[in-house]
Amino acid sequence: MSVDSPGDGTAAQALPETQGLRERKKERTRRSIRSEAFRLFREQGYNETTVEQIAQVAEVSPSTFFRYFPSKEQLVLTDDLDPLLIEAIRRQPRDTPPLTAFREAVVTVFSNLSGEELAFEQERQALLYHVPDLRAAVTREFERNIDLICGLLAEHLHRDEADFEVRVTAGAVAGCILAITKMVPMNPENISRALMFMEAGFPLRGEN
C-alpha cells in the first residue's frame, strides 16, 4: 500500500506526534538557554555576560541563541506567564466583575507554578528593576502590560480596547502590579492584595 493512499491513518497520526516531539525539543533548548543565562548572570553579572558565553554553556551556537531570543535583553524580558494568564482570564465566567476575574486568574496562574518556576520569575523581575541597563525596558514592559490587560478586559466585557474606561482600568491594574513588584518581585499574595484593594475602591485612610 502506498503511504499516500487511505489506510489506517498511522502515517497521518505520526506527523502530529513527531511535530510534538520537535516542539518539546525546541522548548527544552529554549529553557536550557535561559537557565544557563541566568546562572551566568548570578555568577558574574548581567552586563559582564555575553551572548557568546551563554551559547557556550548552553551548548548551542550564537546563531541558535538568536533564533530563540533576538537579544540578551529580550531573554530577560520574555514573560512566560502571559499565555497562562490569558488562558486563565478567558476561563473566568463572563458575569464575573473584571477586577475579580483578573485577580482570580492571577491566583490560578501562580498556584499552578512550581517553586522553581516562581523563583525564576522573581529573579527575572529583580533583574529588570535592579540592572541599570534594563530599567529602560521596564517602561516598555509597563506599556506592553497595559495593552495586554486592556485587550483581556475588553474581551471579558465585550467592549472595545479603545474604550476610555477599559484603558483607564487596565492602566490602574498595570500600575498597581508595577508598584508592588518593585517592592517584592512577583509576590502572588501582594498582587492579589493589591487587586482586592482596587476592587474595594482604594479605601485609603489616614493614620489615627
For residues 16 and 82, give the distance between their C-alpha atoms in angstroms, rounded to a whole number: 25
Nearest to 113 by CA among 173, 188, 182: 188
* Positions in the chain whose pLDDT score sits under 50: 1-16
CATH number at residue 43: 1.10.10.60
Whether 139 and 122 have beta carbons less than 8 Å apart is answered as no
Number of domains in the chain: 2
Residues 52 and 95 in one domain: no
pTM for the full predicted model: 0.76
Quickly list H helices, the chain.
10-44, 51-57, 62-68, 72-77, 82-90, 98-111, 115-130, 132-157, 164-183, 188-199
Domain that holds residue 107: 79-199
- How many residues can be counted in the chain? 208
pLDDT digits (tens, 9 = 90+) for 114-159: 999 999 999 999 898 889 889 888 888 889 999 999 999 999 999 9
- The per-residue pLDDT for 83 is 92
For residues 111 and 188, give the distance between their C-alpha atoms in angstroms, rounded to a whole number: 9
pLDDT digits (tens, 9 = 90+) for 166-180: 999 999 999 998 888
- The per-residue pLDDT for 129 is 85
Instruction: Retrieve residue 170's grid coordinates.
Output: 487596565
Residues 189 and 114 in one domain: yes
Residues 49 and 116 in one domain: no
